[in-house]
């Protein structure tokens, strides 16, 4: 995340280590520690050869992979800049003069520029309109930067729970929730959806997730206790497999949307 004196991201220095767990790091140039398969991927604003050497010496680990790249190449071909979905404006913290939602996108999924996020935002807005008819409670599964949860809060949903298993995503979400003043409305859980018992008795579940995770959730009868589901993160080739994972005669397809090669479904459980 951005911490003073940094106001924006220019270059990323990335070190993927094979250590299982590192203690919290306080380096002033640290962007964050992304945990992938229980291994740390450290992102810095500046090169950190000496620090990494010392960490490896102390913890008996090795660098699996390292890279340095422009921030613009992190999401290739995509400049992170202000954008609008319907009448909601979103802007990165470094360009946030008049926006409804301010975001520190960091290096986390959920800048708002991926077609799957954009589809989720458009659909969330649709199902929260007209004003005053918004769902009251929402689960945001795989929240990334927290953008969808914050959009929900902006639309009037007052009880939102997010989940992500990447501690850096949870840190970034916490920062973005605070930046937008929704600490009362949004609860952040850093947990693995494959292991976490989920309380799905809510008005709306939003899940932009890998198709295998979605299929796992679909297979659990206790997943189907919400009133409405917005699910995304898969492409047309995966639709058949996901359709087969839906519980037979328990769920109705309300709407199917597509943006580029990304699909979104709106689902509602049928009364038993």
Ligand X SMILES: C[S@@+](CC[C@H](N)C(=O)[O-])C[C@H]1O[C@@H](n2cnc3c(N)ncnc32)[C@H](O)[C@@H]1O
Task: Enumerate binding residues for ligand X (CB under 6 A).
Answer: 109-110, 114, 116-117, 120, 142-144, 147-148, 163-166, 169, 192-194, 208-209, 213, 233
- How far apart are CB 83 and ligand X at their closest, in Å? 13
State which residue, 137 or 208, has the beta carbon closest to ligand X.
208
Residue 85: CB minimum distance to ligand X, A: 12
We find the least distance from the C-beta atom of residue 118 to ligand X, in angstroms, to be 9
Question: 5: cis peptide before it, omega within 30°?
Answer: yes
Q: What does the alpha-carbon distance between residue 148 and residue 144 come to, in Å, rounded to a whole number?
A: 9
- Between the CA of residue 116 and those of 22, 39, 202, 210, what are the distances in Å? 32, 27, 22, 11
In the complex with ligand X, the residue whose CB is nearer, 135 or 144, is: 144
Write the CA distances from 173 to 107, 162, 206, 213, 271, integer angstroms.
12, 9, 16, 21, 35
Q: Which residue has the tokens 């009364």?
A: 271
Instruction: List C-alpha distances in Å: 59 to 17, 44, 54, 62, 67.
Output: 10, 19, 9, 9, 21
Q: Which helix (H) or strand (E) holds 160?
A: strand 159-164
CB of 225 to ligand X, least distance (A): 19
**Region label for 146, one of left (φ > 0), alpha (ψ between -120 and 50) or beta (otherwise):** left
What tokens appear for 16 in the block? 């993927």
In this complex, which beta carbon is closest to ligand X, that of residue 104 or of residue 164? Answer: 164
User: Half-sphere exposure of 210 toward its Cβ, with a 13 Å CA cutoff?
Assistant: 7
Nearest residue to the partner ligand X, using Cβ: 142
Q: Which is nearer to ligand X, 44 or 163 (CB)?
A: 163
SS3 115: helix
Q: Which is nearer to ligand X, 180 or 208 (CB)?
A: 208
Tokens describing residue 1: 């995340």
Q: Which is nearer to ligand X, 137 or 166 (CB)?
A: 166
Provide, rounded to whole angstroms, the least separation between the CB of residue 132 and ligand X.
Answer: 25
The minimum distance between CB 267 and ligand X, in angstroms, equals 17
Give the three-state DSSP class for 232.
strand
Nearer residue to ligand X within complex by CB, 48 or 71: 71
């Amino acid at each position: 995340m951005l911490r003073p004196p940094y106001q924006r991201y220019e270059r990323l220095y990335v070190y993927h280590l094979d250590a299982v767990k590192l203690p919290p790091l306080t380096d002033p140039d640290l962007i964050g520690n992304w945990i992938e398969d229980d291994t740390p991927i450290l992102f810095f604003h500046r090169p950190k050869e000496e620090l990494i050497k010392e960490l490896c010496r102390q913890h008996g680990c090795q660098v699996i992979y390292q890279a340095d790249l422009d921030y613009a190449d992190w999401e290739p071909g995509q400049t992170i800049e202000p954008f609008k979905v319907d009448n909601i404006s979103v802007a990165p913290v470094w360009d946030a003069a008049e926006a409804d939602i301010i975001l520190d996108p960091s290096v986390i999924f959920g800048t708002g520029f991926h077609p799957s996020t954009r589809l989720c935002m458009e659909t969330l807005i649709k199902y929260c309109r007209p004003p005053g008819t918004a769902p009251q409670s929402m689960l945001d599964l795989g929240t990334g930067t927290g953008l969808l949860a914050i959009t929900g809060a902006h639309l009037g949903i007052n009880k939102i729970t997010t989940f992500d298993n990447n501690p850096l995503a949870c840190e970034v979400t916490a920062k973005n929730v605070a930046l937008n003043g929704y600490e009362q409305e949004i609860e952040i859980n850093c947990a693995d959806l494959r292991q976490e018992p989920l309380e799905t008795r809510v008005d709306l579940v939003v899940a932009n997730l890998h198709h295998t995770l979605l299929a796992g959730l679909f297979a659990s009868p206790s997943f189907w206790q919400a009133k409405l589901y917005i699910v995304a993160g898969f492409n047309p080739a995966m639709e058949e497999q996901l359709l087969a994972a839906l519980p037979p005669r328990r769920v109705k397809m309300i709407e199917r949307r597509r943006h580029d090669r990304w699909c979104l479904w709106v689902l509602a459980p049928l009364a038993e």
